[in-house]
Each structure stands twice: as C-alpha cells, then as structure tokens.
Amino acid sequence: MSQQQAASLPLFDLVTDPPDAPGNPAPGASGTSGRTLLLVRRFDVPFLLTAALSAGAGSSELTLDRGKSGKGRLAAFRRLSGRAVLVLRDKHHLATGDPAAVRAGADSFAHSVVWSAPVLREDADGALVDPAGLALTDLHGIADLLRERGQGEHTVDPDASYPLPASSGALGVRLPALLTLRGPGTGAALRRVTPAPAALTVVQQVHLVPLPEPPLPPRAYHPASGGYGIGHDDHGADGARVMYQPRFRLEHADPDAAPGPVRRPIVFLVDPAVPEPWRSAVVEGGNWWRAAFEAAGFQDAYRVEVAPEGTDLDEPALNTVWWVHRDGRGWSHGQALTDPRTGEILHGRVRLGSQRVAQVTALAEALLAPYGHPDEAARLAVVRETVLARMRLLAAHEIGHALGFLHNFASTGHPSPSVMDYPHPEVTVGPDGTPDLSRAYPSGLGPWDRFLVAHAYGSFATPAEESAGLARLRREAADAGLLHLADEDARGPGAAHADAAVWVPHAHDPFEALEQALAVRRAAQAAFTRGVIPPDRQSGELEARAALLHLYHRHHLAAVTRLVGGVRYAYAQAGDAVPGTVRGTPPVAPDDQWRALRTAAALLRPGDLVPHPAVLAVLTPPGIRYARSPEYLDTRAGRVFDPLSAVESATALVAEALLEPALLNRLAWQHADDPRVPGVTDVLACLLDAAWHGDGAEPAAPSDPLVRETAGWVVVRHALAALRGGELHHPVRDEVGAALRAAAGRLDASGGRDGDGGGADPVGAARRRESARTLTALLDDRSARTGLPHADPLPRVPPGAPL
C-alpha cells in the first residue's frame, strides 16, 4: 500500500481476531475465542485522546457524572522495540518553523507514555495490538480526582474491571470499559452514593479521535470576543502566545451563494431521559441559537432535537445533551472537544443536572406558599412556568458553552440579558403583597449572544476582510454598551470588577435590586406557612424552605458589596482603539463606595438577621428517618431550629464579602491614593459598630442585644480569619488589628466601668465588657508559630448556587 493510499484510510480501526490466531485461548479454555484488536495504520501521527464517563458516581461533590467528557489530549502511537507505545504530547508548548525547529520544540518539553502493548502482527494494513489494557487505564483521572476531593487513595482493581465491546465510527475508535477503583471506603461523598464505598465502579469510554483533514482555517482569538480561546506558546516565534477562537466547522453549500444553506448543520441531540415537560423546554431553549446563526448568514445551520430512541449518546461524532442525576446541589456543564491546531470543535457535550428542577421549584414554592391556598392551582401553575422558563434558559446557556462561548456576567447592563449570564429570577411584590414571578426569567437571546455567533462563525471572503469585519463587530458591541466580563472577574476571592454581578436580575441598579429583593424577602417570610411544601412531605423540610427565604437577598447584596474596593476595566488588545473602552482600572467613585458600605452594614440590624416570627412559628425538626441536608441552616440548639445560627449565616453574607483579603488590600491602596474612599479601618468600624451598637435606638425585641452580640462576633471571626490567612499586606494586617483593638475599646466603654449599674440593661452591659476583654485577649494571645491571633471557625452558609 502506498503512503497516499494509507493516508486516505482511517488512522486506526478495529478488527476481530480469528479464533485460531496465535495468542488466542485454546478451545474450551477460559476467555473468548477471538479478540477485538486495534489496527494502527500509521505511527507518529497525532490524534486526540479523551476519556468520557457513560456511567458515573452520581455525586455533585465528586463531579464524576454520567456523560462527563475528559480532557482532550494530543497523542500519538510510536513503534518501539516491537511494541506500540501511546505517547501524550504537550499541546501547550510547540514550535513552528522548519523541521529542525519543530523537532527542537517537541524534544524540549516532556512527553508522557501512558500505555504500551506488544505488536501481535503487522502487515501492509498496519499493526495489530490488543487494546484491552488501554481501555482499563484510568485515563479520565478518576483516582486523582478522588484524592483531590478527600476521598482517599484509589487504584483500578484489575479483578473487578473488564473491557466492554469496542466500536468504531465516524469520529474514530471507542474503547469502553467497566472500571472499579478500590480505596479506603471512608470518603464521606463516596459513602453517600456508593453501595460499597471501598469499590467505586464506573464506565469509562476511551475515544481515539483523528484530527480533521484538511484543518479548519483558524480564527484568531480576541479577548473581547466572548469565546473561550485555546492556544499554545509558539517557541518558534519568540515564545509568542497563539490563541484561537473555538468554533464548529460551518461551510456554505455554495460558497458563491452565501448567505445560504450549509453542508453540515450543527445538531444537538437531547437525551430522551429528560422527562416532559422539561424535555420540550430544553429543545425550545436550545433552539434560541438558530436566530443568531441565521442572522450571521447561515440557513438551517443549527438545530436542537430529541435523540431518536436507541441513539448511542456515547458516540463521539454526536453533539449531545445529557440528563444527569446527582446527590445534592450541583452545576450543569457544556463542554467541547477541540482540535488544538485550529480551535475547531469536533463535538459538543452538555450535562443538565436534573436537580435544577427541584431547586427552582423549591424557591418558587417558598415564595408563593401555594399548597392549601385558596388559589392553589393558579400559584402552582406559576411555579411550573417558572421552572420551564429556567430550563429553557439553562439549555441555551450550556449549549452556548459547547458552541465555544464563555460566561458574560456583565449583561445586567445590556439592553436585554445574555443567556451566557447567570440569572436570578426577577421577582417583585405585587399590589396584593404577594411575590410576583410572572417575569421571573427572560426568553430568547440577547444582543451579546448574537454578537457571539457573528464573531465566532461569521463568514468572510479573505483574511483581510475577516480581520476588518471582526474589528467592526467588536466596535459596534462596545458602542452598544455590551460589556463582557467572565468568571475570573466575577467569582471567587480575586474578583474585583464592580459590574461583574452574578445571580442578579437584569437591568437593575444594584441598590434598587437589593431593596427589591429585601421587599420580596419580607413579603414571603410574612406569608410563610406549611403551604410552602407539598402536603405529603415531612414537616421538617420547612426549615430548608425557610433557609431559602432567609438568604434570598445574598446575591443582590454581593452586587452591592462589590462596589467597595471595586474597579472597572474592559478586555482589549494593546492596539485596540475602541470608543468608550475603560482605560486602566479606575476605582468606583468614593460616594458609591461609602453608600455600598453603609447599605451592607445596615443589614446587620436584628430585624434583618432573625427570621420573621411567622417563619419561626411553624418550624419543626426533621422527622424520624430524615435529616438536615447542607441546604438547611446549621443548628447548635440540638434537634430544633437555632435562630442564632440563622443570625450568624445572614451576618456572614456581609462580613465575608467586605472582609475578603484581596478587597482589603485594594481598599488600602485606594484610600491611600484618595482619602475620600473608605479605608480598611472604616470598613471594620462600620461593620462592628452596626453589629454591636446599631443606631443607638432602644431594642425592638427582647432578643435584640443577644442578636447584636452574635452578629458582632461573626464580624470579628471573619476579621481574625483575614489576619490569619497570610494574604494581607503587613500594613493592612496591622490596620485590621488596630481596628479590632479600637472596637474592643468602644465595647468596653459602652458597657460602663465595673460596678456601674449598666443603665437599663445591666446584663447586656456586662456582656459587652466581657466581649471587650475576650477580643483583647484574642489579639494578645498570639500563636507562637505564626504570631497571629487564633480564630474560631467561620459560620457555614448554605449553598445558594446554582439557581
């Protein structure tokens, strides 16, 4: 066979060994009479290796989901000493140029040999190897993930693992296997989902995917494009970073007649396991993207439909939407397997967590208390439509990831929101005082989503026209105010952008949004009854619904506190000249920072920290054989609901946001540069005074002094945690310590001197004096190892995302 003929054939294939082939079991011996062998036609030719899971662990904590794709790795088979050796290549460090430059680049960075097997036979068609050992290799990294998640050391048990029937198709070869990983059996997450925790059994699908020929012409990635760029360092070009825009291959059937139909549309198949009516909602929401592709000049280029019965969702040539069940609250995901040479998406895979239906239902029921209400049917219809609207939006969002798009957490300021944002339901209080969910979630794409498709998939006649056309699209988006901010700028301790608000309603001033959320919270709590859960559910579940309402304002509050120490900036390249682009990282205006600080501190009032009396009046402990889950507020009051733990969690929303070390470091610099900006001392003083002292008014309830002291100590614990975390600059750390000492002095003074009567509240005065002594002792009793004060554990706040 000539090289040209070999190159036209699949890179590898599967063949069945005849029963009498050398090395096969003799008749009557254990094992099969013939083996499925892997035919490697060409060595040293790169391909993609990935390992998906078709049967998972069912744990949100472990993320080993049914339908989960593994990392795409660049691999090749080598022929060494009579063996076929599977080598992984570094796809992030390459070198272009002449053959010598390419070879130097390949030899400069480590390769990884992950498997080898003897070549059984070789002829003109290629080399035959037994792929059973490859199928049984933990290529998904299950053992690594279990170790990282604190579940102990695990290894594949060869006696409880075996290959499953392999297959070949339009996108390479698939080697499935049942893998059993043995471990200590003590991991809490595994014990919740595994019948025998010492043996976790999953089904892994190893995919060998040839790289497409000819390669798709790459589209250069731009940081303002909204795509998740992939790339490598090109060491043949002075180490320059090369980045590509991930996208599916879309080609017009008649290039001269564009816009028009395409040769091969992008089709996503929805798992038939999705039950109705959610399945129709997933299809409808996923198909929102059709309008954007049509606007970009592609007719009938994209669609979402239910997979025909019997479809093999594991087939790597298919783009699929899986329905995944898990233990506990978890995320949905959109993934894509891409060609590292060009960014071409070879297939997309989406996982929708079924528990999202239960989460949205629980929130809507908590807000409306429909069961047993005179208009129960109407309220339950609103609950149902709210969930349907969320599932449409969820499908569009996760498929958007598989199409090559990042989150955009700045779309709250767009004319209409992006489906790539995280939406909080838009809820208001109606004229009758009932929460109104009629506009809970938006429908359809926003202008940013249309821009995403036009920029990633738009067709241009020449490279010059492409460069100019994409620049024009970015200018138009910037002129329209379509700011883009992704994960690193919106979530996590390092997030600093003032407009990267996550899980907030669309087009709201953050202060107005928080005020509206608090009004909804008050209305729902005041109307709280046993009707927030179905009548056949155990009454202890009322606590979980109460927790949803108690922390309902958490995300709106986070959007306000982001203004304190916040900055603004935009993604761009150095040579961009985009009108309206923010230059540098200017801080939020001082007045807005002070307003945000005072607004957040005002939520440390007892009336905002203690659940409404209507809530407390109906709560009971979980019934026998039921237990509190992580969705519940903690209790240190035995079996019953603990109002002080509720106070701690609500206080922690404020303290955690404003005493985050990166924020305090930013604030210290901003205040030094402009004294009008609140400083670190101002933040501590504002929070501690609001918590411990309030506005000086008489207590509205007998429990108020106890609530205030509880809140004050939560603020102190967060401040001490910031001191001990090692992330504060030394001057900032000293300022936090000084602010705490000053707070102790104010506490001591407010309690009066020893022997004083303490005014109207001698017990409260004595407790304040004791709190002052305890705080001073904490600051004085420093660890011999670190020189820093000890801190109690921080309060646990039940999870609020995903929604």
Residue-level pLDDT at 172: 93
The DSSP secondary-structure symbol of 494 reads T
Q: What band does 3 get if pLDDT is binned at 50, 70 and 90?
A: low
For residues 679 and 750, the model is more confident at: 679
Residue-level pLDDT at 23: 54
Average pLDDT, the chain: 92
Residue-level pLDDT at 725: 87
For residues 610 and 583, the model is more confident at: 610
Looking from the CA of 176 toward its CB, the CA atoms found within 13 Å total: 16
Residue-level pLDDT at 353: 96
Nearest to 322 by CA among 274, 285, 263, 250: 274
How does 711-736 read in b/e, with b if 16+ C-beta sit within 10 Å? bbbbbbbbbbbbbbeeebeeebbebb
pLDDT above 60: residue 756: no
Q: What's the rounded Cα separation, in Å, for the pair 321 and 354?
A: 12
Asked if the bond preceding 277 is cis, omega within 30° of 0, the reply is yes
pLDDT above 60: residue 1: no
pLDDT above 90: residue 582: no
Min mean pLDDT across 108-122, 265-279, 633-647, 691-705 is at: 691-705
The DSSP secondary-structure symbol of 420 reads T
**Residue pLDDT, tens place only, 454-477:** 999 999 989 999 999 999 999 999
Residue-level pLDDT at 792: 78
Nearest to 803 by CA among 366, 330, 370, 350: 330
Rounded to the nearest 5 percent, the helix, strand and coil shares of the chain are: 35, 20, 45
Residue-level pLDDT at 505: 87
Q: What's the rounded Cα separation, in Å, for the pair 231 and 236?
A: 14
Pairing of strands 93-94, 230-234: parallel
**Residue pLDDT, tens place only, 489-535:** 999 888 999 999 899 988 779 999 999 999 999 999 999 999 999 99
What does each C-alpha distance from 450 to 151, 295, 465, 485, 795 come to in angstroms?
43, 8, 20, 16, 43
Q: What's the rounded Cα separation, in Å, for the pair 592 and 611?
A: 29
Residue-level pLDDT at 771: 86
Q: Is 578 left (phi over 0), alpha (psi -120 to 50) or beta?
A: beta
Nearest to 642 by CA among 553, 707, 715: 707
Residue-level pLDDT at 28: 39
Residue-level pLDDT at 26: 45
Q: What's the rounded Cα separation, in Å, for the pair 498 and 409?
A: 11
**Residue pLDDT, tens place only, 358-383:** 999 999 999 999 999 999 999 999 99
Residues shown for the chain: 803
pLDDT above 90: residue 106: no
Min mean pLDDT across 45-54, 220-229, 499-508, 606-615 is at: 499-508
Q: What band does 428 get if pLDDT is binned at 50, 70 and 90?
A: very high
User: Could you tell me the residue ranges of all domains in the chain?
Assistant: 3-211, 255-479, 549-571+594-780
The arithmetic mean of pLDDT across residues 634-657, rounded, is: 97
Token couple for 592: 């807005």
pLDDT above 90: residue 260: no
Min mean pLDDT across 134-138, 310-314, 404-408, 772-776 is at: 772-776
| pTM recorded for the entire structure | 0.94
Strand spans (E) along 470-513 = none
Q: What band does 599 get if pLDDT is binned at 50, 70 and 90?
A: very high
One-character DSSP codes across 132-199? HHHHTS--S-HHHHHHHTTS---EE-GGG-EE---EEETTEEEEEEEEEEE--S--HHHHHH-SSTTE
- Fold for domain 255-479? Collagenase (Catalytic Domain) (3.40.390)
Which helix or strand (DSSP H or E) is residue 103 part of? helix 99-108
159, exposed or middle or buried, with CB in 10 Å at 0-12, 13-18, 19+?
exposed
Q: What's the rounded Cα separation, in Å, for the pair 247 and 293?
A: 12
What does each C-alpha distance from 316 to 175, 303, 335, 349 come to in angstroms?
11, 18, 12, 9
pLDDT above 80: residue 227: yes
pLDDT above 50: residue 669: yes
pLDDT above 80: residue 389: yes
The arithmetic mean of pLDDT across residues 703-732, rounded, is: 94
Q: What band does 754 get if pLDDT is binned at 50, 70 and 90?
A: very low
Most confident of 224-228, 572-576, 749-753: 224-228
What percent of the chain shows pLDDT beyond 90?
79
Radius of gyration of the chain (CA): 30
Which helix or strand (DSSP H or E) is residue 613 part of? helix 613-616
Q: What's the rounded Cα separation, in Å, for the pair 794 and 637?
A: 17
pLDDT above 50: residue 348: yes
